[in-house]
Amino acid sequence: NHQIFELEKRFLYQKYLSPADRDEIAGQLGLSNAQV
């Protein structure tokens, strides 16, 4: 699943995501930030 791959890749580089990062990723993946 490409979405999961993108998330895992992001987490490898940045273990802790700020709320803004979560919002950005959620937007890119079409998810709510509660799912990220």
What's the CATH number where 12 sits?
A: 1.10.10.60
Contact call for residues 24 and 7 (beta carbons, < 8 A):
no
Q: What is the pLDDT of residues 10-29, one digit of tens each?
A: 776 666 667 787 788 778 87
pTM of the model: 0.40
Query: How many folded domains does the chain comprise?
Result: 1
CB half-sphere exposure, 8, CA atoms < 13 A = 5
Distance CA 1, CA 16 (A): 22
The yes-or-no verdict on residue 36 having pLDDT over 60 is: no
Looking up tokens 């987490």 gives: 11
Asked if 32 and 25 count as a contact pair (C-beta separation under 8 A), the reply is no
Q: What is the mean pLDDT of residues 6-10?
A: 77
Domain extent, residue 21, equals 1-36
The pair phi, psi for residue 14, each rounded to 5°, is -140, 100
